[in-house]
Structures are given as structure tokens and as C-alpha cells.
Amino acid sequence: MKLYLQTLSRHQVSQQMQVDFHRFMLEDLERLDHLINQMLDAGRLDAERPKGEEEDVELATLLGDCAAAICMSYRVPAGHCPTRSATERRRRPADRPRRDLSQSGR
């Protein structure tokens, strides 16, 4: 936002650029407002919740909410950051057993 404001105050820009800058600043402000509200909510929930108490969380829902927040933060269409459950993931190479090369003479 600071860069947009500095550009508007120091340089002559077209009317269209002014409109674009204002739209970008409003989007940035909305994201900042959302972040502040999330931090306040997290602080309030942390203060209200007794320490040591556990609660079940629906992981798919939590991951979906995180993916939606990422899409909003990076201005990409909703659903652009898909999530997959453990049963949907393919086995990654790091999960496969490793061959011990120390005994093969290499």
C-alpha cells in the first residue's frame, strides 16, 4: 500500500492506473483486516481455552480452510490450491524403502 501511495503522490499516473492502484490498496487492506481479525480470534481462543484440553479437529475441513486462505492471499481463484487426503496421495519417492549402497561396493 505504501508503494502505491508513494507512486500516486510523486508521479503523474493515468486515471486507469489510479483506479487500479486504489483497487489493489483496497484488496491489501481487506487482507490485512482479515489477518488482524484472525490473530485477535486466535488470541481470544487461546485465552479462553483451558490448558491441556484436547479437541478433535476435522483435518479435511481445516486444510480446506487453509487452502482457501492461501488462494485469497495470493489472489488466485478458489480451488487453485487443492488438498488431498492421505488415501488420495500417491506414494512419494521419499516414502519408499532405500537401498543400502554401502554394501554394494559403491
Cβ-proximal residues to 18 (8 Å cutoff; 6+ apart), any chain: 8
Q: Tell me the chain's radius of gyration from C-alpha atoms.
A: 23
Q: Is the pLDDT of residue 13 over 80?
A: yes
Rounded distance between C-alpha atoms, residue 20 and residue 91, angstroms: 45
Tell me which residue has cell 492461501. 70
Do the Cβ atoms of 73 and 80 come closer than 8 Å? no
Dihedral angle computed from the Cα positions of residues 2, 5, 10 and 13, in that order, rounded to the nearest 10 degrees: 130
Rounded distance between C-alpha atoms, residue 38 and residue 44, angstroms: 10
**Each residue's pLDDT tens digit, 42-101:** 888 878 777 777 778 888 888 888 888 888 878 888 777 777 765 555 555 555 555 555
Q: How would residue 106 be classed by pLDDT, with cut points 50, 70 and 90?
A: very low
H helices present in 1-106, as ranges: 2-10, 15-48, 59-73
The pLDDT value recorded for residue 40 is 94
